[in-house]
Structure 1
């Protein structure tokens, strides 16, 4: 059974960088069984109703601006898998989760940047999934839980986001990798409750977590919530392991959590 994962997609620059974090992601897939398919919940695909991709071959979405020209030439021709998408839809039906089928949308950078590092040959089918920031964390977790049985069929479930993501607080001149105290404080709180599978506290992170107004600002929780989808997908095991944590620009977290 393949664990589910929360993987930070950090910054689009990862697509052209070689550093400790990109090298970690390149090696991560070598430690796992080869998946039959990948289900990926991306922070950059928001919707008020759960969306499930039935795409035959994904175009790349360059949903960023002001970056080097070479980044806009990158291709990642991942294919979809309609039967697995329909299996997902069957599980959502079973657990009473409303959804819509999407047949044209490409992969945003929250998806293709990390997939290209994990599986550079684009030879594993992908089913892209949206996230809904308006849902309560308990409901986001429940959507992941509805899909948990797919892990027994060698399907790799990923939530792609960033645990500490505040564009207004970034220090783009910071090159040392040192993290702001408030970012560490929030991620330490998160780590403690994830490792204890304390969903009561985690579902109330907006009220309980230290420095939450900085780490997950009210104008943008979409990067944090993929964590709940990925965590819910391992509800049958309830084990969380931090595999990597680093920072750039003072507080942009690069963390990888394994669930299960």
Structure 2
């Protein structure tokens, strides 16, 4: 059975960098069984109602500014898969998850930065999915759980975001600096409860986790919540494994969690 993943997409610069993290993701894509399709929940696509993309050919969205010109020349011409999109719709209907179909939106950098590192040939069909940071963690988990049987069909489910993502605290001009203690404290708390599949504590991370308000600020929780969608997709195999964790800019975490 295909596992599900939470993968940090970091800063857009990852798309043109060669470092420990980009090398890890490149190797991960080679080591995983080849999926039939990828279903990806992106922190950079927010909607009040769950969106399911049904797109033939994705355009590449450059939803950032002030970066090197090389980033804006990157193309990731992934294709969709109407059959998988229809299966997702049927599963949402079965589990009473409200949804809407999106037929024109391209892939934002939360999606294509990760996908390009995993599958540089853009030869795996993609179903892009929105997230709703205003739902409770329980509701986000339920949405992921409703799609769990897709993993039996060799479909890879990914939540793309960041466990520690506070743009007001990152030190973009000081890359290789000591990691802030508050970022480490939050990630260590998270790791303990993920490995125990302690949903009761994880669903209350905002009040229980140390330094949660720094690691997951209220204005940026959309980057954290994809982890609940990815976890829910592996509810039938409640096992969490930390595959990689590193940091940039003092506190921006590059975490990769495998579920199932």
Q: TM-score, normalised by structure 2?
A: 0.99
Instruction: State whether structure 2 residue 40 is matched by structure 1 residue 40.
Output: yes
Between the aligned partners of 1:247 and 1:231, the Cα distance in structure 2 is 22
Gaps of 5+ in 2: none
Q: Describe the SS at the equivalent of 1:133.
A: coil
Once the two structures are superposed, residues 50-92 of structure 1 have per-residue CA deviations (whole angstroms, 9 ceiling, x without a partner) of 0000000100000000000011010010000011101000000
Between the aligned partners of 2:210 and 2:172, the Cα distance in structure 1 is 24
Instruction: State whether structure 2 residue 131 is matched by structure 1 residue 131.
Output: yes
Instruction: State whether structure 2 residue 186 is matched by structure 1 residue 194.
Output: no
- Report the counterpart of residue 236 of structure 1 in structure 2: 236
Gaps of 5+ in 1: none
CA RMSD between the two structures: 0.6
Q: Describe the SS at the equivalent of 1:170.
A: coil
Aligned residues: 260
Q: Describe the SS at the equivalent of 2:220.
A: coil
Residue 8 of structure 1 deviates from its aligned partner by: 0.2
> Which stretch of structure 1 is more off in the superposition, 134-143 or 166-175?
166-175
> Which stretch of structure 1 is more off in the superposition, 23-32 or 174-183?
174-183
Q: Describe the SS at the equivalent of 1:257.
A: strand
Between the aligned partners of 1:156 and 1:66, the Cα distance in structure 2 is 32
Once the two structures are superposed, residues 213-237 of structure 1 have per-residue CA deviations (whole angstroms, 9 ceiling, x without a partner) of 1000011100000000000000000
Between the aligned partners of 1:130 and 1:172, the Cα distance in structure 2 is 27
Once the two structures are superposed, residues 29-49 of structure 1 have per-residue CA deviations (whole angstroms, 9 ceiling, x without a partner) of 122110000000000000000
Residue 177 of structure 1 deviates from its aligned partner by: 5.0
- Report the counterpart of residue 181 of structure 1 in structure 2: 181
8 Å CA contact 1:37, 1:127 repeated in 2: yes
Between the aligned partners of 1:9 and 1:177, the Cα distance in structure 2 is 20
8 Å CA contact 1:178, 1:248 repeated in 2: no
Q: TM-score, normalised by structure 1?
A: 0.99
Which 4+ residue blocks in structure 1 deviate beyond 4 angstroms?
none
Between the aligned partners of 1:57 and 1:250, the Cα distance in structure 2 is 37
Which aligned pairs between 1:1-260 and structure 2 lie closer than 5 A?
1-176=1-176, 178-260=178-260
8 Å CA contact 1:159, 1:230 repeated in 2: yes
Between the aligned partners of 1:175 and 1:103, the Cα distance in structure 2 is 39
Inter-CA distance 152–201: structure 2 relative to 1 (3 Å threshold): same
8 Å CA contact 1:61, 1:107 repeated in 2: yes
Once the two structures are superposed, residues 142-200 of structure 1 have per-residue CA deviations (whole angstroms, 9 ceiling, x without a partner) of 00000000000000000000000000101123332531000000000000000000000
